[in-house]
Amino acid sequence: MADNQKVLDRVIIKFAGDSGDGMQLTGTQFTNTAAMLGNDLSTFPDFPAEIRAPQGTIPGVSGYQLHFGSVNIFTPGDECDVLVAMNAAALKANLRHLRKGGTIIANSDGFDPKNLRLAAYADGVNPITDGSLENFRLITIDVTKMTRAALTESGMGIKEIDRAKNMFVLGFLYWMYNRELDYTENFLNEKFGKKPDVLEANLKVLKAGYNFGETSETIADRYIVNPAPMAPGTYRNIMGNQATALGLIAASQKCGLDLFLGSYPITPATDILHDLAKYKHFGVTTYQAEDEIAAICSVIGAAFGGKLAVTTSSGPGIALKGEAMGLGMMLELPMIIINVQRGGPSTGLPTKTEQSDLFQAMYGRNGEAPIPVICATSPADCFAAVYESCRIAIEFMTPVIFLSDGYIANGSEPWRYPQAADLKEFKGNFITEVPEGGFLPYKRDEKLSRPWAIPGVKGLEHRIGGLEKAHETGNISYDPENHEFMVRMREAKVNKIADYIPLQTLDNGAEKGKILVLGWGSTHGAIKAAVKEAREKGMDVSHAQIRHLNPFPKNLGEILYNFDTILIPEMNTGQLCSIIRDKFMVPAIGLNKIKGMPFSTTEIFAKIEELATK
Amino acid sequence: MADNQKVLDRVIIKFAGDSGDGMQLTGTQFTNTAAMLGNDLSTFPDFPAEIRAPQGTIPGVSGYQLHFGSVNIFTPGDECDVLVAMNAAALKANLRHLRKGGTIIANSDGFDPKNLRLAAYADGVNPITDGSLENFRLITIDVTKMTRAALTESGMGIKEIDRAKNMFVLGFLYWMYNRELDYTENFLNEKFGKKPDVLEANLKVLKAGYNFGETSETIADRYIVNPAPMAPGTYRNIMGNQATALGLIAASQKCGLDLFLGSYPITPATDILHDLAKYKHFGVTTYQAEDEIAAICSVIGAAFGGKLAVTTSSGPGIALKGEAMGLGMMLELPMIIINVQRGGPSTGLPTKTEQSDLFQAMYGRNGEAPIPVICATSPADCFAAVYESCRIAIEFMTPVIFLSDGYIANGSEPWRYPQAADLKEFKGNFITEVPEGGFLPYKRDEKLSRPWAIPGVKGLEHRIGGLEKAHETGNISYDPENHEFMVRMREAKVNKIADYIPLQTLDNGAEKGKILVLGWGSTHGAIKAAVKEAREKGMDVSHAQIRHLNPFPKNLGEILYNFDTILIPEMNTGQLCSIIRDKFMVPAIGLNKIKGMPFSTTEIFAKIEELATK
Amino acid sequence: MSATTTSAEDKKFTSKELVTDQEVRWCPGCGDYSILKQVQTVVPDLGIPREDIVFISGIGCSSRFPYYMETYGMHSIHGRAAAIVSGLKCVRPELSIWMVSGDGDSLSIGGNHFIHLLRRNFDINLLLFNNEIYGLTKGQYSPTSHEGKVTKSTPMGSIDHPFNPIALALGANGTFVARSMDRDPVHLKEMLKRSHGHKGTSFLEIYQNCNVFNDGAFEIFTDKGTKKAETIIIEQDKPLIFGHNADKGIKLEGFKPVIVDLNANGNSANDLWIHDEKDLTKAGILSRFFDRPEDGADHLPRPFGVFYSADRSCYEDGLKDQIELAKSKKKADLDSILKGRETWVIG
Amino acid sequence: MSATTTSAEDKKFTSKELVTDQEVRWCPGCGDYSILKQVQTVVPDLGIPREDIVFISGIGCSSRFPYYMETYGMHSIHGRAAAIVSGLKCVRPELSIWMVSGDGDSLSIGGNHFIHLLRRNFDINLLLFNNEIYGLTKGQYSPTSHEGKVTKSTPMGSIDHPFNPIALALGANGTFVARSMDRDPVHLKEMLKRSHGHKGTSFLEIYQNCNVFNDGAFEIFTDKGTKKAETIIIEQDKPLIFGHNADKGIKLEGFKPVIVDLNANGNSANDLWIHDEKDLTKAGILSRFFDRPEDGADHLPRPFGVFYSADRSCYEDGLKDQIELAKSKKKADLDSILKGRETWVIG
Ligand SMILES: Cc1ncc(C[n+]2csc(CCOP(=O)(O)OP(=O)(O)O)c2C)c(N)n1
Ligand SMILES: Cc1ncc(C[n+]2csc(CCOP(=O)(O)OP(=O)(O)O)c2C)c(N)n1
Ligand code: SF4
Ligand code: SF4
Ligand SMILES: [Mg+2]
Ligand SMILES: [Mg+2]
């Protein structure tokens, strides 16, 4: 490689354009190419809130952020180094996320008077010509013109030609970052194999973009980002919702029970339904119910029938499931309730992320209705976390709530995927014949779990329901002592799970010290990066990330008591913080962000620094 | 009065019989007569869980407990002094609640072999003849025979005659407690005015019971219970659900807005619907919706239309309302959500009482959706508490959750009812014309409340919805900063209410000391009685009862910090306790009872004593 | 529910063996007792092993039913039984699933699941005990209570126009729609068998007397003095005849049902409306015999029997087909999906 | 909605004054644009002051509608608009209330409120934009999608038998049931006016093209080449005639609609089925023109127009009557009810 090339240890690129500009595809291609080269990475798409907001406007901007590097990458990144702006709206919407001195790659055709007006720039103002971007490195390319030029002889129509614009940009970026084209070429071959002219056009434009970099070398530097020191193994890239679907299928295979999904579509959970619907050959049933209540009730029916039953939704839909979740808990049937959290309250910000449904998961039911709660910390982690949720549901005969969120659901990262053979099997408490002394539907084992007696087994005919039930027999009981006993028993059963889950570990730092940053769910990456940086700067800070929110790992209290200050960053007003304060009587403090967006590393670092220097 | 009569300062009578035996009526009559005589009192009915469980069985027993005295009475009482048992099942179900040495008035006819069998006594066992009740004073009366004898000449059929049995018992008790018959005579006159033979029969049997006491004086002592030192004024007896209905009507009158109730029947809330349906002449609309979701949504519609809108339900129904409550909060429209709590979880114990929906009220929604929560402390207090709920809803443009429970809903007590003229008026933030500078639907006043602009006002046409909205304009906004601002604003608005509610006061005891018993809702009476007793015995204990659960009164923390120990008795596993620990970081401890029944004074006293002597 | 095919020997059990150890707790005189008895009489004859039978209910007096049936059972939450049976049938199509519900449970809070169940046509039997009242909550009007009905929640009379459950079920694309009553054990048993025999969602409305909160709601249909004049039993391929001496018939004038006197001159049973369960339009007319009568129209008897019965594929069959097809086309290889399309190796 | 009677001068406003300051955010080419335009055209002519008009919707692309109407409005939660308008109409019967909803919003999650709204017959207008898809959530099948439909959630095709919205509305005792389409502005405007004119719940199903997720679902009804053969406009007292040259008619043979060629010998428009909106049975047959065709039956055109229209009292009127009656009988004396029946004095 030429020696005027700079070696960087990480780069953040934001691809932004109109919904129709193909930025998601462009981003994914660059991502996969980076992955193949051994970079560590993390991505996050940024969809418009509307189905298709008007072309050229700010609400219509679709973005894709990629953070890749030769070092370990924990988040999609804070401020970006490079902003690809296919039109004026894309620039306007994203400029504030570009670091000072960062590079803008602007498609000049997207800054014509019409686009400028749609992006609501003042009359006569054009940011790419008026010098207002002097704090940045501006690379203006007339992508449309170039693309058309490359395809003059293709015989294709203008509309079709213009659709290849994103390949030009991709090609140019491949040049800039010294990437091979072969991954994308293969992809195009597969995708357009049956349409040779479209294929050829795309390949041509991709190369044209690359060559444009080569030939006009003056306008941009080239960079090298070397492979990252990742654990050896075979990797793939995966998004959170995808990993959730795979985790469910894997669990289904490993407990030997067919998977039943009862769901009603809702952003950002719907993709799990879409995904699972493709796995019918694994015996997966996806049932699109008439509403969320029907969805969870179908799950109760399927669980009664002896299957691995799951429902997926997001906040407003979960709210509707509260009553039936109580029934599931009372019946003591296994089921998994997945909440891919989004911005609330009410309809809120459907396409944005938030962690504000923790209280709902813990307390959002009538009566004393404890349900285990588990969360995932990253896109790939959805796999393990949902697998664990299934295990607990099945082994303890209980509903389990699994919390994901819009950030990890749509974000992606490399995943050293497991081998099927390495996944631990688990099995249901099935009872297949009448035990000596007679069958007692609510007789408990050492886990306090009851037997799973499914229709079809002779002699185990029995009735269950939502009224309070007598210990062991499960018959209706209005006895006051029995009620208290059973309420305590159901609580004890959930608490018992703590004996069957791993102890809390520290992600980073000493076991005793000044500051512990305690996180849950998708804040993992940002906290990890911030704590790493703080420790590198010599601050006394450790990091623990909770997966098991109910019950907590048995040693959590011990860990907390070893620190002077507990800092809990959350994308809500402080829900875990409340629970920790209540349970452990430690004056934990919150760092709260309620902007529909994940934390940046900087934000968390700043808070740590503030606390460390106090 | 004869001098062999004993003066008592309080008596607890439990009337128990088969559902068809008329025990509720008997109890109510005795209660009202006691009230007229100036006794303080408290009552609690104990309905069978089934509509009509089989006659003669334990599930079919219907009870009514009355506690009356010449001293202040705070609860329906713990163990009873007198147990009226109309049949064997009634005895069996209630004997454990009778104090040693207490009196049993048994209807011997209800202890025939059939009844004994239905009550599941062992073959040949009859408790009223086998001496097993020797620790009690047993008065056996063949009520059926006596009643029939009194009415031999009435010309009525046996079935009809037997229906008057309860009057015999009532007459006998009137004799025992030196009560006049006139209140009940008047009642019978009014009730059976149009059926002279039924009237005469009832009067006759009532007197026969009284005379039976007179003539067979040897079998029982007579007692005198003098009037209680109650605040001067005019009183009536009232049940909690009745007081709730009246409070809503009073609020409607005092804010000048018609009342709209949207509800779906559910035990134990339904009586509020029944009651309000009778007040159409007050402009009250009761709308029985198709389900709980429709009920609260109709309320949202009515609130948008400018009315005082209310929905009533119990735990499982409230669970269904969660999503719509979030919408109500987002729209910032006033509405009152009433939860008459019952035994949970799931269908639980529908006819029993519990306080286990506090978490649901505080946290049972998706996203950050704070809603004020208010509770009532006694049957009569439902009036003031729901009135206050209406005021806050209307003045702050917010949904308000009002928590009652089965215990106070069906219990009764004397009420020094207010005069209409003394009730404080309040009014809605209506806006009736376009303000200078234009109309902003989410512009806030000093209470952080927004204007109520109802359809029909020219120039104020505007749209509201569940998506996040921009400050002031209320237009849809996806802006991250605005979202955080609005989440904080909605929280601040609820917190602001603390400036407009009374400071927390102590019910009893010093402002600083060893133990504070902190209660909420219907535990008031039992705590009050227990603390009084403990203080009389010299223990350093105070009592505070919270009405405003969200936000808490501003001085609550101060009060808590003045005590070494905070004891929180709750009919749940410790929900307020969690919230207090979280908010104030005080190691409050819980006294928890989850038996579908209220606390007894003894239970609370015992815990205070334990803590005081530690 | 359609018949299953297990060997006859396996299945033998008696009505008594369907009785549970739980005390039946309906009010004395409640119509639910009779329905329970008929169900317990019919079920052993259906040739299904007891362990393959499931009764699922919502909440209400009627919904107590499963506790009294010694089969598998679930007493769920108010209005949701239809959704629960749907899920169960998806995964266990071989079971004989019976749903028991009330007019409030299925037509008020559960209305949505009710109509969706019918359109999806899961092969289950839905017994709706219609007592035109909320029994368990002690007497509020229900979506089938007639206008003007005075109840605890309507002291001045109901102003809600009621549903016509049969018409609603037809409108929701139900494939089997029938009506019977608690006080006609013979007819009820027949209808239970027919419901079982139909492959698809069998909707059986059963008029049930709530003698505590709505006593006599159906008295004219059950009382000896009025029954024959006020009811008509509809049977496949039979003319519509009713009356104390089977002396009245119904024929169609255009779309208008009119009553003819079979004793009068020139009227013959041959001219009468012949019942055809396959005819959706006629089923629609039958369903409207009692509401919306046009001015001057005849007062018609209430029909009992199978209004409509049609074949349509069941959801669970489509589901099974798709899963089998998918399985036949593609191997379920967990490793291959964990791996995905693209991987790379590090180290 | 029925006409109100305020003076004509008060109400004058233009279509432009119905446009809000919010940018319309549907996909370019979406059928919703046309519907919005027709509504904005029709509403000013109805003689209602703008401030007395309220648009209430659920969630979905269609439910964005209120944001674009400069009237009072509410964009509520998914499926619940029907319940909200019911509450509003109870307390503000004088308002002109329009509910806007989608096939998912009203027939999937909102199905229960939908059928209860129809039976209660609140005097409101319900515009259901049926695009046979979930638009906002990006393309899952809906309860009106046809069997076999391949969508994101049904990669092997849907196995749900769809609802027939018209039949469902009739089954739920709707008093006004009509259909129109986005691409026939003239007809749509007429139907909007008729909906407004009807006193009671006016249910108007509007076929709406979702050009992104279900493009062309109704193309045969809107495409010039096929429209005339595939649709039939039904009008009161007019014979059922359709076809490219108005050369085809429909007559009833018994209950079976058959197509006749009006050019052929012996066929005359006089023998055709004459549309009668008051006839529930005929409305039922019309509603079934496209599903459940019997074997060998004719392929029938899709009807557009008013299927059924009947007078029945509205819930809010009954409510008002009862309240007025109660008021006329009894004074509202707060002190007297606070006091109750029995009191006693202490001190
Ligand atoms: C979510 C919920 N809402 C309300 C109730 C109260 N409830 C129980 S049964 C019932 C209605 C009963 O009527 P129906 O379904 O006709 O049954 P029936 O008792 O008449 O047999 C109601 C309103 C409940 N248990 N759960
Ligand atoms: C409680 C709840 N469940 C699910 C959703 C997600 N959701 C929004 S709109 C919609 C369906 C939209 O379809 P339709 O009603 O036909 O409207 P369209 O977008 O097609 O106009 C769904 C499932 C939601 N917002 N709220
Ligand atoms: S209340 Fe009515 S329906 Fe319920 S058990 Fe009693 S009689 Fe039967
Ligand atoms: S997704 Fe379909 S229905 Fe929604 S706006 Fe786009 S074209 Fe219209
Ligand atoms: Mg009923
Ligand atoms: Mg749609």
Report pLDDT digits (tens) over D93-139. 999 999 999 999 999 999 999 999 999 999 999 999 999 999 999 99
DSSP H/E element including B40: strand B40-46
Mutate to test the pocket of ligand 3, among B47, B50, B51, B270 (most ligand atoms within 8 A of CB): B51
D2 pLDDT above the threshold of 50: no
DSSP state of D107: I
Taking contacts as CB-CB distances below 8 angstroms, the residues of chain B near C27 are 51-52
Mutate to test the pocket of ligand 1, among C34, C105, C128, C212 (most ligand atoms within 8 A of CB): C105
Q: Render pLDDT for A280-314 as a digit per residue (tens, 0 to 9).
A: 999 999 999 999 999 999 999 999 999 999 999 99
Q: Render pLDDT for A334-347 as a digit per residue (tens, 0 to 9).
A: 999 999 999 999 99
Cβ(C136) – ligand 1 distance below 6 Å? yes
Q: How far apart are the CA of B291 and the centre of ligand 1, in A?
A: 10
Strand partners, D6: none
Cβ(D131) – ligand 2 distance below 6 Å? yes
The two three-digit tokens of residue B173, written as one number = 């008790």
pLDDT score at C295: 62
CA dihedral over B362, B366, B371, B375, signed as positive or negative: negative
Q: What is the mean pLDDT of residues C219-227?
A: 94
Residue partners of D286: CB distance under 8 A and separation at least 6: D166, D234, D303, D307
Mutate to test the pocket of ligand 2, among A264, A273, A318, A342 (most ligand atoms within 8 A of CB): A264
pLDDT above 70 coverage of chain C, percent: 95
Ligand 4 atom closest to residue D31's alpha carbon, by position in its atom list: 8
Q: Render pLDDT for A480-533 as a digit per residue (tens, 0 to 9).
A: 999 999 999 999 999 999 999 999 999 999 999 999 999 999 999 999 999 999
DSSP state of D106: I
User: How many A-C residue pairs are in contact by the CB < 8 A criterion?
Assistant: 205
Least CB–CB distance from A461: residue in C51, C56, C327? C51
pLDDT band at C1 (very low <50, low <70, confident <90, very high): very low
For chain C, the average pLDDT equals 94
Q: Render pLDDT for C52-79 as a digit per residue (tens, 0 to 9).
A: 999 999 999 999 999 999 999 999 999 9
pLDDT score at D12: 82
The reply to whether residue C326 touches residue D112, judged by beta carbons under 8 angstroms, is no
Q: Classify residue C189 as left (phi > 0), alpha (psi -120 to 50) or beta.
A: alpha
pLDDT score at D11: 55
Chain D contact for C325, CB < 8 A? yes
In C132-198, alpha helices (H): 165-171, 185-197
d(CA B556, CA B575): 17
> How far separated are the first and last CA of chain D, in Å rounded?
60
The reply to whether residue A456 touches residue C112, judged by beta carbons under 8 angstroms, is no
Measured in angstroms, the CA of C327 and the nearest CA of chain D are apart by 13
Mutate to test the pocket of ligand 3, among C35, C129, C207, C212 (most ligand atoms within 8 A of CB): C212
A133-137, A451-455, A522-526, D11-15: the lowest-pLDDT one: D11-15
Measured in angstroms, the CA of B49 and the nearest CA of chain A are apart by 8
Ligand 2 atom closest to residue A320's alpha carbon, by position in its atom list: 1
Q: Render pLDDT for D138-156 as a digit per residue (tens, 0 to 9).
A: 999 999 999 999 999 999 9
Which residues of chain B, if any, have pLDDT below 70?
1-4, 49-52, 217-218
pLDDT band at C268 (very low <50, low <70, confident <90, very high): confident
> How far separated are the first and last CA of chain B, in Å rounded?
48
Pairing of strands C176-181, C302-309: antiparallel
pLDDT band at A421 (very low <50, low <70, confident <90, very high): very high
DSSP for C18-44 reads: G--SSPP-SPTT-THHHHHHHHHHHGG
DSSP state of B154: G
pTM equals: 0.95
Interface test with B, best of D12, D51, D346 (most B CBs within 10 A): D346
The reply to whether residue C159 touches residue D319, judged by beta carbons under 8 angstroms, is yes
The two three-digit tokens of residue C188, written as one number = 């009820």
List C-alpha distances in Å: D180 to A595, D195, D229, D302, D307: 43, 11, 16, 10, 11
Chain A contact for D108, CB < 8 A? yes
Least CB–CB distance from C138: residue in B51, B57, B288? B51
Interface ipTM: 0.95
pLDDT band at A160 (very low <50, low <70, confident <90, very high): confident
d(CA A479, CA A470): 8
Q: Render pLDDT for B322-377 as a digit per residue (tens, 0 to 9).
A: 999 999 999 999 999 999 999 999 999 999 999 999 999 999 999 999 999 999 99
Chain C contact for D115, CB < 8 A? yes
D231 pLDDT above the threshold of 90: yes
Measured in angstroms, the CA of B549 and the nearest CA of chain D are apart by 27
Q: How far apart are the CA of D134 and the centre of ligand 2, in A?
A: 6
Q: Which of C344, D61, B38 is nearest to A227 (CA)?
A: C344
The two three-digit tokens of residue B514, written as one number = 């060893």
DSSP H/E element including C281: helix C280-287
A220-234, B229-243, B398-412, D279-293: the lowest-pLDDT one: D279-293
Take atom 1 of ligand 1 and give the residue whose Cα is closest: B317
Provide the Cα torsion A401, A406, A407, A413; round to 10°: 80
pLDDT score at C291: 65
Output the furthest CA–CA distance in chain A (Å, rounded).
89
For chain A, the average pLDDT equals 94
The reply to whether residue B463 touches residue D66, judged by beta carbons under 8 angstroms, is yes
Residues 42-61 of B with CB under 8 A from C: 50-55, 57, 59
C300 pLDDT above the threshold of 50: yes
pLDDT above 70 coverage of chain D, percent: 95
- Yes or no: say if B449 and B396 are a contact pair by the CB < 8 Å rule: yes
Please provide the size of chain C in residues: 347
d(CA A344, CA A352): 9
Take atom 26 of ligand 1 and give the residue whose Cα is closest: C78
Residue appearing with tokens 């419901």: C195
How many angstroms from the chain centroid is the CA of residue B308? Answer: 23
C4 pLDDT above the threshold of 50: no
Taking contacts as CB-CB distances below 8 angstroms, the residues of chain B near C160 are 288
Residue partners of B144: CB distance under 8 A and separation at least 6: B107, B109, B162, B165
Cβ(C217) – ligand 3 distance below 6 Å? no
How many angstroms from the chain centroid is the CA of residue A229? Answer: 24
The more confident residue out of A373 and B221 is A373
Q: How far apart are the CA of D31 and the centre of ligand 2, in A?
A: 17
Chain D contact for A285, CB < 8 A? no
Q: What is the mean pLDDT of residues A560-564?
A: 97
For chain D, the average pLDDT equals 94
pLDDT score at D268: 84
DSSP for A421-440 reads: GGSPP----B--SPPTT---
pLDDT score at D5: 46
CB atoms within 10 A of CB A90: 30
Chain C contact for B330, CB < 8 A? no
CB atoms within 10 A of CB A117: 14
Q: Render pLDDT for A33-43 as a digit per residue (tens, 0 to 9).
A: 999 889 999 99
pLDDT score at D3: 44
| Strands annotated E in chain C | 53-57, 72-75, 96-102, 125-130, 176-181, 202-207, 231-234, 241-242, 248-253, 256-261, 302-309, 344-346
DSSP for B532-551 reads: HHHHHTT--EEEEEESEEES
Q: Which of C40, C49, C53, C54 is nearest to C8 (CA)?
A: C49
pLDDT score at C6: 46
d(CA A35, CA A32): 5
pLDDT score at D192: 98
DSSP H/E element including A515: strand A513-520
DSSP H/E element including B286: strand B285-288
Chain D contact for A267, CB < 8 A? yes
A387-396, A597-606, C4-13: the lowest-pLDDT one: C4-13
Measured in angstroms, the CA of B274 and the nearest CA of chain C are apart by 5
C293 pLDDT above the threshold of 80: no
Cβ(C102) – ligand 3 distance below 6 Å? no
Strand partners, C206: C129, C180
D331 pLDDT above the threshold of 60: yes
Take atom 10 of ligand 2 and give the residue whose Cα is closest: D60
pLDDT above 90 coverage of chain D, percent: 87
Q: Render pLDDT for C11-52 as a digit per residue (tens, 0 to 9).
A: 589 999 999 999 898 988 999 999 999 999 999 999 999 999
pLDDT score at D1: 47
